[in-house]
Amino acid sequence: MNKINELKDAELFIAIPEFKVCLDNKKAPSQNDILGLCSNESGLTVFTVESKVHEDFDELVKDWNKNDYESKNNRLSFLLERIAYPNIDVSNLRYQLFHRLASAVIMAEKFHAKNALMIVQSFEANDELNHYSDFKDFIENYGVFSEKETPIKVAKYNGIDIYVLWVNS
């Protein structure tokens, strides 16, 4: 994480596996593979890690939202606001990406952190198998170019800079 000064030379303070973050209510929290805190001279960063081998990023929003429409629509609105997502049709994007990124932002708010970062850690290098295209589609709607192994600032919410990062392991 050294191409963006806000994340350069960050020192890891803590990493908690299988950390659950309540979203708009206590039902169905987002369970992150890791929630971590790190800091440098620019300030505190909260990060979430979603580790993947071959599995996708859950259902498309349009499939996830088929049942219990009102409740799920409220949740989706909550997530979109937290991640400052552009006002576009998200029905063909993967639901998990929204709540994982929102998890980082929600926890950054709780810790009064300057930065929120969602890291996708892929254990599969082949883009046909690792679902990189879903990640790419998700972040390029912010008007940024997707690049692996590079933290990308996508938005700002409530004073928190929001970043995403794809890494191959």
Per-residue pLDDT of the chain (169 residues; tens, 9 = 90+): 334 677 888 899 999 999 999 998 878 899 999 999 999 998 999 999 999 988 889 899 999 988 877 888 999 999 999 999 999 999 999 999 999 999 999 999 999 999 999 999 999 998 889 999 999 999 999 999 999 999 999 999 999 999 999 999 8
| DSSP assignment of 91-144 | TTSBHHHHHHHHHHHHHHHHHT-SEEEEEEEES---HHHHTHHHHHHHHHTTT-
| Domains: count for the chain | 1
52: CB partners within 8 A, 6+ apart: 120, 121, 122, 123, 124, 130, 131
Q: Supply the pTM of this predicted model.
A: 0.93
Q: What is the domain extent for residue 109? A: 5-168
